[in-house]
Amino acid sequence: MLDNSMISGLIKPLITLLDEYGISAKMLFSDAELNPLPRVKQSSQTTQPQAVRAQMSVSALERARKLTKEPAIALYYGQRVSISSLGTLGFALMSCTDIASVLRLLIRYHPILTSELSWELCEEFCDELGEGLADDARGVTLRAQFHSGNRDQQRLLIESHFSSINAIGTYFLNRPMFGVELHLNYSAPEYADIYQQIFAVPVLFDQANCQLLMNNELLDFKLVTANPGSQVFFRQQCELLLSELNAEENIAAEVRRLLMHASGNFPDITQVASALFMSERTLRRRLKAEGTSFRRLFDEVRNVLAQEYLTATAITVAEIADLLGYTECANFRRAFIRWNRITPIEYRLQSN
């Protein structure tokens, strides 16, 4: 069933914030479309939890802005989102070893929170350096990809999401964010000074993309809440939630399922397309529309399997590499470091 506690968890900070403006939850949810726990007619194939949640989220922010007459309400809302607001995903993030691991989990399981946007992780940002990062800095770019909404709605989403990422990052670091630069693809609003109050990092408007540039010093920051053993459990719970949300004919979920059940004898994209009764070209197009690719899904599945083999079995790294279809153990080792910023042996030792 749909994890409705996730919806109430995300809406609760907004209700608390509006209460400070004298706005009741009843006023916010006077429109049936904004019901935090919508009643969906139950049938075998027709429930659409992601669509309901997406509509509620952006509509709630728009209505909250209208009721409070506060143009920066989405920024303030994001600051109220906490780890507990994220439910199971929040616990999974807390169990990560470092900030880089947090980002990877956030990208994979973000559909649990909303289908309105997704995240793309670009490995290098050297050619995009701005005033807030050193000339020799290296790191990654966390870029937002929109799937719905007009420009005004997208700005509300960006303000709330980046503000919440900043709040959660500050919680993990136990200090203001550092080694970060925020880029926004719209002009500075009249309340631009509030951005500077909330984000303790450089904020650049009129940029090509909405994204966070993060250097390796931040990515390597170790979390005191890290618990590799607990992470296996919470990731399994997130996988269940993701599969339930994807039950409404998400092609990426079908590809993951086929790869996960291949028992190491992984099919190629042509074979997967055939199993889904479509051409390879159609499969590539549909995966792109969902913000992913066959290669990315293949890497995700192999990484999940690799982590499970390393934590739940005693088989050697070379044997794991062979199970995952690598002809050379060195190639698997390089891929694992790229995925997790740590070697397979180090991951196994941390998990014990």
On the question of pLDDT at 37 being above 60, the answer is no
| pLDDT reported for residue 5 | 39
On the question of pLDDT at 17 being above 80, the answer is yes
On the question of pLDDT at 256 being above 90, the answer is no
CA gap 61, 112 in Å, rounded = 19
My answer on whether 302 and 177 are in the same domain is: no
Q: Which of 219, 241, 272 is the last residue of a domain?
A: 219
Taking residues 257-270, report their average pLDDT: 82
Structure pTM? 0.66
Taking residues 170-182, report their average pLDDT: 94
Per the structure, the count of domains in the chain is 2
Domain annotation covers residue 233: no
| pLDDT reported for residue 46 | 34
| pLDDT reported for residue 41 | 34
Q: Which residue has the higher pLDDT, 114 or 223?
A: 223
Total residue length of the chain: 352
Across 316-342, b (16+ Cβ under 10 Å) vs e yields: ebeebbbbbebeebeebbebbeebbbb
Taking residues 26-47, report their average pLDDT: 49
Could you read off the pLDDT of 179-205 as tens digits, one per residue?
Answer: 999 999 999 999 999 999 999 899 999
Could you read off the pLDDT of 204-240 as tens digits, one per residue?
Answer: 999 999 999 999 999 999 999 998 878 888 888 888 7
| pLDDT reported for residue 133 | 53
Q: Which of 181, 198, 219 is the last residue of a domain?
A: 219
Taking residues 35-57, report their average pLDDT: 38
CA gap 177, 180 in Å, rounded = 7
| Structural contact between residues 34 and 60, judged by C-beta atoms closer than 8 angstroms | yes
My answer on whether 95 and 151 are in the same domain is: yes
My answer on whether 165 and 312 are in the same domain is: no
On the question of pLDDT at 42 being above 60, the answer is no
| Structural contact between residues 60 and 14, judged by C-beta atoms closer than 8 angstroms | yes
**In the β-sheet with 117-122, what is the strand arrangement from edge to edge?**
117-122, 139-146, 211-215, 180-183, 203-204
| pLDDT reported for residue 249 | 52
| pLDDT reported for residue 233 | 83
Residue 81: helix, strand or coil by DSSP? Answer: coil
My answer on whether 279 and 343 are in the same domain is: yes
My answer on whether 151 and 256 are in the same domain is: no
| pLDDT reported for residue 125 | 53
